[in-house]
Amino acid sequence: MLDLLIRGGTIVDGSGRAPVAGDVGVRAGRIVSVGHVDEGARRTLDASGLLVTPGWVDVHTHYDGQVTWDALLTPSCWHGVTTVVMGNCGVGFAPVRPGSQDYLIRLMEGVEDIPGTALAEGISWDWESFPEYLDAVEKRPHALDVGAQVPHGALRFYVMGERGADHEAVPTPAEIEAMGRIVRDAVRAGALGFTTSRTRNHRASDGRFTPSLTASGDELLGISRGFGEAGQGVFEVVSDFAGREQEWELFREMVRQSGRPMSISIGQSDVSPEAWRGMLAAISAANAAGLPMKAQVAARAIGILLGLEATLHPFASHPSFKELAALPLAEKVARLRDGALRRRMLAEAPAPGLAMLAWQFDRLFVLGDPPDYEPGVEKSIAAEAARRGVPPQELVYDLLLEQDGHALLYRPFLNYSAFSLDAVREMLLHEHTVPGLGDAGAHCGLICDGSFPTYLLAHWGRDRTRGERIPIETLVKGQTADTATLVGLHDRGRIAKGMKADLNLIDFERLGMRPPEIVHDLPAGGKRLVQRATGYVATVCSGAVTFEGGESTGALPGRLVRGPQAAG
Ligand SMILES: [Zn+2]
């Protein structure tokens, strides 16, 4: 007797093979039969007309805090994700000395835009060492599986104390050795890897750069050697590269001396729109030299969402807006509808800094419903304002007041230099890339890209009209077998006998995303952007149906994944 039979679906099995019709039999959390299955089952799901895929494996999330208070891990759970990996980009909450949690909160708040008040109130802090953090995560059941990585920022602060928060402070040889030993022991206890950030985009909320920004070769190679002693696990790194000739040599040496593979975040920046090609070439060269490296690439542009409740909008730095900033949205909207205030606001100018991103009206778009993440240049605010014969800031002012102030505008800032996603397509199809960078759980008031897995399949497999698409079997493989393999989880990511029964039943015609929205459901009433999906008929984790029609069934089969997993 099977626990679960999925009957008559179109199986896209994660191997990259073309879809085939068939059934999937599940017992004791594993796939036990694929093809024509006769055996009886306690429960049968009719998959006729549906795609049956492995559950998505999202290797780039920031649920390090949320994992301690949210059993569902929204929004990823709504998007067919059955495994998340957290601790990316060098930020997280372990190891941590009792009494020194505040800095890690400020670091996460600054780097990933997660409200510090929510983290302070929500996190249980019942750990000090990384193995204790793993135990704390393991104690709490979730709707999906969770893997953790050791973040360099927390590690540095733990070993070096307050000095560790200063990226220019140099650790002593003894401190470097201690960092390597802690990573080794954490990985032996079940951490999936070690992560570090070398980008000036990452700052703590106290304004200081992320502590690992300029970590020396001595420090990184010392950690790498300790890490290597564990004999398992992966690196995840992010870097600006610009002006750093030695960066690739350093990354290659980290892989060489540890014997561990690495993934590196790569995107297209408007400053040097072709630089990503050189980065992918460097990754190919490393692989050719026997050094396993992958680029993590995004499924679309990484974009900022602008709105009256979001962290940013074109008037956020205006003196007249700052007077209203603390008001509830409804009151804000009422005041902004006043003609005198509108005139005053439109006469003011934005402060330099982040707000200027919102003033590039040729790169600002209405996201719409359903959201359009690949809008042509003719759809920009600048183009629409020109058609209407009004200044673009006036148009934006009025647009922000739509939907009672809930309207969101979209400002793609990576991967959209040429106003198309052709570069993204090339990146996705490169042999040494995996889909990632969604940052689910992070950027609460700015970015909402936890929906990348849904977008990947819906846009590239079905919707795209402005260029070539990608076969769905290639897309599914990318978000399942490829990402699972990247982090050493060989027990999932494919539909085959013996594999973990993590599955999605998808109504492909209906697969898509609702517009992002701001909700106030974080601890301490904190707000965040979330986005719902459509088309996921059912999601199965470890053989249990966790979501049906987008709603939780209450099942919490998700567990901490301790270390790499062998194929079943
Ligand atoms: Zn990240």
CB 141 within 8 A of CB 71: yes
Structure tokens belonging to residue 516: 């992002």
Please state whether beta strands 533-534 and 512-513 pair in parallel, antiparallel, or not at all (unpaired): antiparallel
List, in sequence order, every beta strand (DSSP E) within 130-176: 145-147, 149-151
**Is the CB of residue 302 less than 8 Å from the CB of residue 449?**
yes
Say which amino acid occupies 484: A
C-alpha closest to that of 500 among 24, 1, 67: 24
Strand 528-530 to strand 503-506: parallel, antiparallel, or no bridges (unpaired)? Answer: unpaired
The pair of structure tokens assigned to 331 is: 């009151």
Task: Determine the Cα–Cα distance for residues 16 and 36; give it in Å rounded to an integer.
Answer: 20
**Closest to 271 (Cα-Cα) out of 130, 414, 379:** 414
CA of 203 to the centre of ligand 1 (A): 13
Q: How far is the CA of 538 from the centre of ligand 1 (A)?
A: 28
pLDDT higher than threshold 70 for residue 375? yes
Are 536 and 547 within 8 A, CB to CB?
Answer: yes
Burial-class residue 62 by CB neighbours within 10 Å (0-12, 13-18, 19+).
Answer: buried
- Cα 194 vs. chain centroid, distance in angstroms? 17
CA of 219 to the centre of ligand 1 (A): 22
Cα–ligand 1 centroid distance for 60 (angstroms): 6
HSE (CB half, 13 Å, CA atoms) of 257? 18
To the nearest 10 degrees (0 to 180), the angle between helices 217-230 and 173-189 is: 30
The encoded tokens of residue 280 equal 């992918």
Distance 496 CA to ligand 1 centre (A): 31
Mean pLDDT of all residues in 287-304: 97
Place of tokens 């969101």: 408
Task: Give the Å distance between the CA of 440 and the centre of ligand 1.
Answer: 8
Residue 236 CA to ligand 1 centre (angstroms): 10
CA of 135 to the centre of ligand 1 (A): 23
Q: How far is the CA of 541 from the centre of ligand 1 (A)?
A: 24
Q: Which pair of tokens denotes residue 468?
A: 């070539």
Ligand 1 centroid to residue 20 C-alpha, Å: 35
CA–centroid distance, residue 489 to ligand 1 (Å):
20
| Whether pLDDT at 419 is above 90 | yes
Angle subtended at Cα 320 by Cα 314 and Cα 326, rounded to the nearest 5 degrees: 85
Containing 30, the helix (H) or strand (E) segment is strand 30-35
63 CA from centroid of ligand 1 (Å): 10
CA of 324 to the centre of ligand 1 (A): 32
* Cα angle 280, 364, 327; round to 5: 120
* Tokens encoding 561: 């994944």
Average pLDDT across the chain, whole number: 95
- Give the whole-number percent of the chain exceeding pLDDT 90: 90
Q: Give the 3-state secondary structure percentages of the chain, helix then strand then coil, rounded to 5.
A: 35, 20, 40
107 C-alpha to center of ligand 1: Å?
13
pLDDT exceeds cutoff 90 at 3: yes
Helix (H, G, I), strand (E, B) or coil at 495: coil
DSSP count for the chain of H helices, then E strands: 17, 25
Instruction: State the Cα–Cα distance between residues 195 and 64, nearest whole angstrom.
Output: 13
State pLDDT tens for residues 187-223: 999 999 999 999 988 888 888 999 999 999 999 999 9
Which residues, by Cβ under 5 Å, contact ligand 1, an ion?
A: 88-89, 439
Predicted confidence at residue 111, as pLDDT, reads 84
Quote the ligand 1 centre to 147 CA distance (angstroms).
15
Give residue 258 CA to ligand 1 midpoint distance, Å: 23
Judge whether 479 and 456 are in contact, CB under 8 Å. yes
Return the closest-CA partner of residue 540 out of 568, 489, 500: 500
C-alpha 213 – ligand 1 centre gap (Å): 14
Q: Distance from the CA of 197 to the center of ligand 1, in angstroms?
A: 9
CA of 171 to the centre of ligand 1 (A): 25
Written as one letter, the residue type at 98 is P
pLDDT at 241: 84
512 CA to middle of ligand 1, Å?
Answer: 23
Taking the C-alpha atoms of residue 558 and residue 561, their distance in angstroms, rounded to an integer, is: 9
In this predicted structure, what is the pLDDT of residue 243? Answer: 64
pLDDT tens digits along 266-292: 999 999 999 999 999 999 999 999 999
Ligand 1 geometric centre to CA of 554 (Å)? 29
Check whether 24 has a pLDDT greater than 90: yes
Region of 145 (left: φ > 0; alpha: ψ -120 to 50; beta: rest) is beta
Alpha carbon separation from 181 to 132, 223, 226, 228, 229 (Å, rounded): 16, 8, 5, 10, 9
Tell me which residue has tokens 């497999």.
461
pLDDT tens across 125-178, in order?
999 999 999 999 999 999 999 999 999 999 999 999 999 999 999 999 999 999
SS3 541: strand
Q: What is the pLDDT of residues 63-94, one digit of tens each?
A: 999 999 999 999 999 999 999 999 999 999 99
What pLDDT is recorded for position 354?
74
R_g (Cα) of the chain, nearest Å: 23
Q: How many angstroms separate the alpha carbon of residue 266 from the centre of ligand 1? A: 12
- Angstrom distance (rounded) from CA 206 to CA 397: 31
Give distance in angstroms: CA of 62 to centre of ligand 1.
7
pLDDT tens string 249-268: 999 999 999 999 999 999 99
The per-residue pLDDT for range 487-519, each reduced to its tens digit, is 999 999 999 999 999 999 999 999 999 999 999
Average of per-residue pLDDT across 379-401: 97
432 Cα to the center of ligand 1, angstroms: 19
Rounded distance from Cα 71 to ligand 1 centre (Å): 21
Average pLDDT for 417-443: 96
In eight-state DSSP terms, residue 479 is: I
Q: Is the dihedral of CA 420, 426, 428, 432 positive or negative?
A: negative
Contacts of 123 by beta carbon, 8 Å cutoff, 6+ apart = 65, 68, 69, 93, 101, 105
**Please, where are the H alpha helices in 161-236?**
173-189, 217-230
Of 179, 180, 158, 161, the C-alpha closest to 169 is 161
Centroid of ligand 1 to alpha carbon of 556 (angstroms) = 26
**Ligand 1 center to 336 CA (angstroms):** 35
Distance from residue 111's CA to the centre of ligand 1 (Å): 9
Spacing, Cα 407 to ligand 1 middle (Å)? 26
Distance (Å, rounded) from C-alpha 67 to C-alpha 143?
Answer: 11
The structure's pTM equals 0.96
Distance 265 CA to ligand 1 centre (A): 9
Measuring CA to CA, how many Å separate 319 from each of 116, 345, 352, 398, 459? 25, 8, 13, 18, 40
CA of 89 to the centre of ligand 1 (A): 5
